[in-house]
């Protein structure tokens, strides 16, 4: 039987990707959509300013969009996907959890809270059981699970492969991020053409802290952050979708460029419907991966890497992922599939 799901923030750029990926989905069936007050009461067709590269699914188009509040969502909805602006998520997500809903959230609020699991299922699925601690501490019947920021998701699968084999000590990363990461205002800001913006508010800190939580250890009671040092510099460039990142990774053990590429190529997906067969695709060509050519690797759920070379203390490489698919909507859906598999729904 399918799991009935609701989407909070359904009309935003990530909300629209969620709907695209959920219709159809082998386990989930869309049962409720919410958005801001100005959209409530309209059909989804009327409310959504469609931008992503797919038509509105016909069975979703006529669903009436509700207000973003637990009382506006039917009780028989088992799982909520949230792509709310962080200020709204901070207030509303705990209300849903208190009302008994299990929430898989892409919103940035609360990602580093000690009792909130932050997961990429192929990297640290075991952290999901932090929900037991969360329920004890907060007295919730529901639960809150987060996926990381899209630029963090792009580099962490590759870093995990390096850490497992060669023990990471320091990571430096410089990003070239697509405008869809900034939502509608980013997409429509055509003034970015012939320009690059060397600042994305709060992004560096997210990459530096979230990656240490994802690669940290979980002992059943708490997540201890990985002790590697991470420093990020984030830049916006005029591409529509796909974040490209230049990474310098220092390791405790010696590593060659070939060994680093081999360690990443060996990473497969896991047994969840949205996890790709090949999680990391290695490109040999020196000018790949590129956003326009490679963002849809493995249906947009893969990570592409290339440009390996040895440095004094480790390796340098480039990585790329589709920011609104692998990095946001797809990441939340994978986490929803994990919650289902682990019996939290």
CB of 168 to ligand 11C, least distance (A): 22
Active-site pick, 97, 127, 226, 243: 243
3 state SS of 146: strand
- Regarding 200 and contact with ligand 11C (CB under 6 A), the answer is yes
- Regarding 300 and contact with ligand 11C (CB under 6 A), the answer is no
**Interface residue with ligand 11C, options 108, 119, 274, 332 (CB under 6 A):** 108
Count of positions on this chain that bind ligand 11C (CB under 6 A): 11
- Regarding 213 and contact with ligand 11C (CB under 6 A), the answer is no
**Interface residue with ligand 11C, options 177, 239, 275, 332 (CB under 6 A):** 177
The residue among 278, 307, 281, 309 whose CA lies nearest residue 294 is 281
Residues in CB range of 102: below 8 A, 6 or more apart: 78, 79, 80, 142, 143, 145, 339, 344, 345
CA 155 → CA 1, 73, 126, 287, distances in Å? 35, 35, 20, 18
Closer to ligand 11C by Cβ: residue 106 or 251: 106
Residues in CB range of 243: below 8 A, 6 or more apart: 150, 151, 154, 175, 176, 177, 178, 181, 291, 320, 321, 323, 327
Closer to ligand 11C by Cβ: residue 124 or 149: 149
- Cβ count near 290 (within 10 Å): 17
CB of 338 to ligand 11C, least distance (A): 18
Stretch that binds ligand 11C, among 177-185, 187-195, 253-261, 281-289 (CB under 6 A): 177-185
**Interface residue with ligand 11C, options 150, 155, 230, 260 (CB under 6 A):** 150
Q: Is residue 243 among the annotated active site residues?
A: yes
User: Which element (helix H / strand E) includes 214?
Assistant: helix 203-214
CB of 140 to ligand 11C, least distance (A): 23
Residue 164 near residue 263, CB atoms below 8 Å: yes
| Strand bridging mode 243-251 / 314-321 | antiparallel
**Interface residue with ligand 11C, options 182, 230, 261, 264 (CB under 6 A):** 182
Residues in CB range of 237: below 8 A, 6 or more apart: 176, 177, 178, 192, 196
Rounded CA-CA distance 210/168 in Å is: 15
- Regarding 181 and contact with ligand 11C (CB under 6 A), the answer is yes
- Regarding 239 and contact with ligand 11C (CB under 6 A), the answer is no
Closer to ligand 11C by Cβ: residue 206 or 226: 206
Rg, the chain, Cα only: 19
Q: Is residue 150 among the annotated active site residues?
A: yes
CB of 293 to ligand 11C, least distance (A): 20
- Regarding 275 and contact with ligand 11C (CB under 6 A), the answer is no
CB of 232 to ligand 11C, least distance (A): 11
Query: Quick one: residue 97, left, alpha or beta (phi over 0 = left, psi -120 to 50 = alpha)?
Result: alpha
- Regarding 326 and contact with ligand 11C (CB under 6 A), the answer is no
Active-site pick, 150, 234, 319, 322: 150
- Regarding 151 and contact with ligand 11C (CB under 6 A), the answer is yes
- Regarding 211 and contact with ligand 11C (CB under 6 A), the answer is no
Rounded CA-CA distance 134/111 in Å is: 13
- Regarding 119 and contact with ligand 11C (CB under 6 A), the answer is no
> Tell me, what DSSP letter sits at residue 322?
-
**Site of interaction with ligand 11C (CB under 6 A):** 108, 149-151, 177, 181-182, 200, 203, 206, 323
Active site residues: 150, 243
């Amino acid at each position: 039987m399918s799991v009935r799901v609701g989407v909070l923030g359904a009309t935003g750029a990530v909300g629209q990707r969620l709907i695209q990926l959920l219709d159809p989905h082998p386990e989930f069936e869309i049962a409720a959509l919410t958005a801001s007050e100005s959209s409530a009461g309209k059909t989804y067709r009327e409310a959504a300013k469609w931008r992503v590269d797919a038509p509105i699914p016909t069975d979703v188009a006529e669903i009436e969009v509700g207000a973003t509040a637990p009382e506006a969502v039917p009780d028989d909805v088992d799982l909520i996907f949230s792509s709310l602006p962080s200020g709204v998520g901070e207030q509303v997500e705990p209300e849903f959890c208190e009302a008994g809903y299990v929430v898989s959230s892409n919103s940035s609020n609360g990602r580093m809270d000690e009792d909130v699991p932050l997961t990429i299922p192929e990297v640290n699925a075991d952290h999901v059981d932090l929900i037991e601690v969360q329920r004890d501490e907060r007295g919730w019947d529901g639960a809150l699970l987060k996926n990381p920021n899209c630029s963090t998701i792009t580099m962490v699968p590759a870093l995990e492969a390096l850490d497992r084999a060669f023990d990471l000590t320091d990571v430096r990363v410089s990003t070239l991020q697509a405008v869809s990461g900034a939502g509608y205002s980013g997409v429509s800001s055509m003034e970015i053409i012939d320009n690059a913006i060397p600042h994305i508010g709060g992004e560096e800190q997210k990459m530096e802290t979230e990656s240490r939580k994802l690669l940290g250890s979980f002992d059943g009671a708490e997540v201890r952050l990985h002790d590697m040092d991470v420093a990020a510099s984030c830049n916006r460039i005029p591409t529509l979708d796909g974040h490209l990142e230049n990474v310098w990774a220092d390791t405790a053990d010696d590593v060659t460029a070939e060994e680093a590429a081999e360690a990443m190529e060996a990473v497969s997906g896991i047994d969840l419907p949205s996890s790709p067969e090949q999680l990391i695709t290695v490109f040999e060509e020196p000018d790949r991966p590129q956003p326009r050519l490679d963002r849809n690797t493995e249906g947009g759920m893969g990570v592409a890497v290339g440009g390996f070379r040895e440095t004094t203390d480790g390796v340098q490489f480039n990585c790329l992922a589709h920011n609104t698919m692998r990095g946001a909507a797809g990441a939340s859906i994978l986490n929803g599939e994990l919650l289902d598999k682990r019996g939290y729904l």
